[in-house]
A and B are shown apart, each in its own frame.
Chain A
Amino acid sequence: MPSLPIWQFDVPLLILVVLFAVVALSIRNLMGTAIVFGAYSFMMCLIWAGMGAVDVAFTEAAVGAGVSTVFIVSTIYNTSATMPPRPGGLPFKLFIGVVVTLTGVFLLSAIPDFPKWGEPNSPANATVAPYYISNTIADAHVPNIVTTVLADYRGFDTLLETTVVFIACIAIYSILRVDEARSKTEDSGPVDAEPHYDPSDSLIVRQASRFMVPFMQLFALYVIAHGHYSPGGGFQGGVILGASLILVAISFDLKFLLAQWREKQIMLMVAWGVFLYAVVGLGCVFMGGNYLDYGFLNPVLPGEQDMARSHGILLVEIGVGITVMFSMIGIHINLASNGHFDRGL
């Protein structure tokens, strides 16, 4: 058997990931599915960290393993976790199995044509990426190359991705939100699943999160501000900030959170984040440069052209952080209260 070119550590992890994916989909209780899916995300996160993608691993740990598990659990909380047994349907499943196997065989047949794993001169690694690696210090004085590419070299990409998060938040509001007056008359039937327990009863959970939340928020601000020099940035910091307020909503009460941040304010903040990003780009146009060319901001921002780019990246990351933070909260309060905004997970 030829020696594997990837690290020995990765092989058991890759096998575990497949195992977890199969287990997550075959458990008949949806709550179990959600938890195993969280474990799956953590395994994925380890694999990516092993391949040197620390920023991606950080994001996955915050988003995939943390927030998305909360989203799935709050959906289940409002609906039902059980799956009725459904016998039969074997021909259909066999047919789908054949289709999927055929697709897999086609994809597998393409694998021998790929460059070897870890090849530094493969097309993906040899075209534009070397420029980013060797010029990040001279252009923007940011040692974390991922941050430079994210907010500067490929600023348009990130601007539109932030817009997608904003649009997804609006979409969830328009799908789930219930008009209060209408819901009063229609409030019957299986819409309101009775909560099995009152989570706000637990003194321990409440006190623990009361101590944890300030440190989480401080850490998140550090992640945003220090994203130039270490793994992190607007996306990760925003998700952690959002998660800290989601923790408040879960451990205390949804109303407790909504008393401090009204839904209108939350929606406005989501928009303000994208707005800040777009305005920084427009500022560059007014200073005589191209859109999102932060170097031209150096009359306004301190430092020479490269430091102006560094500060422009920070401004943009703050915008991304605000949007991501409040859209995570907005999505959570909708999913957790089934659109009623009164009580929930």
Chain B
Amino acid sequence: MENLIANFNYVIVVILMMIGLWSMLAQKNLIKKCIGMAIFQTGIILFFISIGAKDNALIPILTEASDHKYHDPDVAKVANPLTQILMLTAIVVGVATLGVGLALAQKIYREYSSFDEDEILNKQTK
């Protein structure tokens, strides 16, 4: 239990992933499925950012010293840039894939005039 409190971030990550997964599986509405997918994704992004965070660290942008030169930074005091760039590109790709999902939902609505999974299946069997 103490471990869980010490790693509170990761607990929230797991909860967000559970919410996203539940929404993708149990929600009948296609738009809500898409939003569940996005929530799942932000959970994973939060996980990566939490891994790369360092206690009492600065942002990963170096600053000039008073003599207008950049000196060797203290590595422990600069947040991990690697996990950040991986997630930065993932967010932009995420919105593009969310767009694809919404486009598919619109196309399905054009055909069946419903977002409801059960209704779509009913109309298919008729």
Q: Which of A's residues lie within 8 Å of B, judged by CB?
A: 1-2, 4-6, 10-11, 14-15, 17-18, 21-22, 24-25, 30, 33, 37, 40-41, 44, 47-48, 51-56, 59-60, 63-64, 67-68, 71-72, 75-76, 78-80, 83-84, 86, 89, 92-93, 96-97, 99-101, 103-104, 107-108, 111-112, 114, 116-122, 124-125, 128-130, 132-134, 136-137, 143-146, 148-150, 154, 157-158, 161, 164-165, 168-169, 171-172, 175-176, 189-191, 229-231, 235, 239, 324, 327-328, 331, 334-335, 338-339
Contact = CB atoms under 8 A, between A and B. Distances in A.
Interface hub of A18, A120, A121 (most chain B Cβ within 10 A): A120
State the 4 A-B residue pairs at the shortest beta-carbon distance, nearest first.
A118-B55, A52-B79, A168-B96, A120-B76
A59 B83 CA distance: 14
Contact of B102 (A22, A75, A107, A108): A75
Interface in B66-107: 70, 72-73, 75-76, 78-100, 102-107
Given A75-B105, A111-B7, A17 B16 contact: yes
Given A52-B59, A104-B15, A117 B96 contact: no
A93 B83 CA distance: 35
Given A103-B18, A137-B70, A164-B96, A114 B10 contact: yes
Given A67-B95, A165-B92, A80 B26 contact: no
B60 A144 contact: yes
B42 A64 contact: yes
A133 B90 CA distance: 21
B95 A154 contact: no
Contacts of B7: 111-112, 114, 116-117
A86 B87 contact: no
Max chain A Cβ within 10 angstroms of own Cβ: one of B39, B90, B95, B115:
B95
A134 B88 contact: no
Given A75-B31, A117-B55, A143-B63, 13 more contacts: A24-B35, A44-B42, A47-B49, A53-B59, A56-B84, A72-B35, A84-B116, A100-B25, A104-B17, A111-B14, A129-B81, A136-B62, A149-B82
A150 to B, nearest CB: 5
A79 B109 CA distance: 7
A295 to B, nearest CB: 18
A245 to B, nearest CB: 16
B14 A108 contact: yes
16 contacts: A14-B12, A21-B39, A48-B46, A63-B92, A75-B102, A78-B106, A93-B26, A108-B11, A120-B76, A143-B62, A154-B85, A157-B89, A161-B93, A175-B104, A327-B96, A335-B106
A135 to B, nearest CB: 10
Contacts of B63: 143
A72 B17 CA distance: 21
Nearest to B105: A75
B92 A161 contact: yes
A301 B52 CA distance: 34
Contact of A158 (B35, B62, B78, B89): B89
B5 A2 contact: yes
B120 interface: no
B18 A100 contact: yes
Interface in B1-33: 2-12, 14-23, 25-29, 31-32
B19 to A, nearest CB: 5
Given A64-B91, A100-B18, A335-B99, A54 B116 contact: no
Given A52-B58, A80-B115, A136-B62, A112 B51 contact: no
Query: Which residue among B9, B73, B98 has the maximum number of chain A CB atoms within 10 Å of its CB?
Result: B9
A171 B91 CA distance: 18
